[in-house]
Structure 1
Amino acid sequence: MPRPTCSRCQRPLGHCLCPLIPNLESRTRVLILQHPSEVGHALNTARLAALGLRNAELRVGERFDDLPQLLAQPDYRACLLFPGDEAVALTGYAPKEKPLLLVVPDGTWRKARKLLHLNPLLAALPRVSLGAVAPSRYRLRKAPEEGALSTIEAIVAALDVLEAPQGFAALLRPFDALIEGQIAAMGEEVFIRNHQR
């Protein structure tokens, strides 16, 4: 029989993260497009990000037929948070500058690229990237390359740059607790053997 789960954070009731999830305001609107393969993942950080930010929305799918409507928000400038040669490093907002609608694909690199391929409108958006970032706190996954972050870490890093001096580190509290809980569940010895570099 499946364990009862929290309907909000979708964690087992004994490990509910809701008390740690903040309720943060941001000028930036965050639209997270999640590949369906990520939904059931135990470390679903995109959901935590969407729950902790008032001005965020999480959509799940491979093809987003309503993308034109989602992107056509007159109060925002839409851009895609995705690395690449044409990506421009994010900087803080200038006074009176229109805030961004930051579109964030969520999935493995392969799945994120597939989302771009299946949604040409996404691929056509101006791209932005993070500058130098702190190493990932995601100690359970080996990053495919230096500077790779989980979705929630990338969103926090982007908002910290865009909206400085306001900080968004509180968004990482449930993420840190999630990682610690997973490590505790597997046992320190297994964690060290499989995940320490």
Structure 2
Amino acid sequence: MSRPQCSRCLRPASHCLCALIPSLDSRTRVLLLQHPSEVNHALNTARLAALGLKNAQLVVGEVFDDLPSLLNPPGYQARLLFPADDAQPLQAYGQSDEPLLLVVPDGTWRKARKLLHLNPLLAALPRVTLVEAAVSRYRLRKAPGPGALSTVEAIVQALQVLEAPTSFAALLKPFEALIDGQIAAMGEEVFQRNHGDGDLG
């Protein structure tokens, strides 16, 4: 028998995170394109980001038929937050800059690349990247390298750069509670044995 689930954050009702999810305004619009395999993931950080930002939209799928309209909201320039040799480092908005539609693929690196492959319009977008990505707080999964962040962490860092000095740190509160809850569930000893060496390499 399945446990009761919160229909908003999709967590078990006993571990609902909604009380920790903020409601933040942003000049930047965030479009999260989530691979279907991530929807039922225990750490669905893209959903947390979409719920915590008023100017965000989460769309689940592999092929997005309505991509032309999704990528062209009036008054925004679309940019893909994804590594590439020619990716431009994100910088704070100037006074007259048009705000960005920050498009964020959500999935493992392999699934995110598949989304780009299946959606040529997405792959064709100019790319942006974080100049100095901080160390991930995602202590439950070995990152593939320095600067590899969970989806919500990458979004928070991008918005902190674009909209400085505005802080978006409140978006990380439910994420941190989620991580702490997972560690508590597995037990400190198991966590230390499997994840506690601090190596993100």
Same fold (TM over 0.5): yes
The TM-score normalised by the length of structure 2 is 0.97
Q: Within 1, Cα distance between the matches of 2:30 and 2:147?
A: 21
**TM-score, normalization by structure 1:** 0.99
Secondary structure of the corresponding residue to residue 33 of structure 2: strand
- 1:184 corresponding residue in structure 2: 184
2:74, 2:134 → 1: CA distance?
33
Between Structure 1 and Structure 2, how many residues are aligned? 197
Q: Using the alignment, how far apart are the partners of 2:72 and 2:5 within structure 1?
A: 36
Deviation at 1:73, TM superposition (A): 1.6
Matches for 1:14-25 after TM superposition, within 5 Å? 14-25=14-25
- Distance in 2 between residues matched to 1:31 and 1:62, nearest whole Å: 15
Partner of 1:69, secondary structure, is helix
The Cα shift of 1:74 comes to: 2.2
Match of 1:12 in 2: 12
Question: Structure 1 unaligned runs (5+)?
Answer: none
Aligned to 2:105: 105
> Per-residue CA shift, 1:138-189, capped at 9, x if unaligned?
0000001111000000000000000000010000000000000000000000
Map of 2:48 onto structure 1? 48
In structure 2, the residue corresponding to 1:176 is in which secondary structure? helix
Matches within 5 A, 1:48-67: 48-67=48-67
Question: CA separation in 2, counterparts of 1:126 and 1:189?
Answer: 45
Q: Which amino acid aligns with 1:12?
A: P
Q: Is residue 119 from structure 1 mapped to residue 119 from structure 2 by the alignment?
A: yes
5+ residue gaps, structure 2? none
Q: Quick one: distance in 2 between partners of 1:73 and 1:61?
A: 20
Q: How many Å separate the matches in 2 of 1:178 and 1:120?
A: 34
Cα distance in 2, alignment partners of residues 29 and 4 from structure 1: 32
Identity %: 75
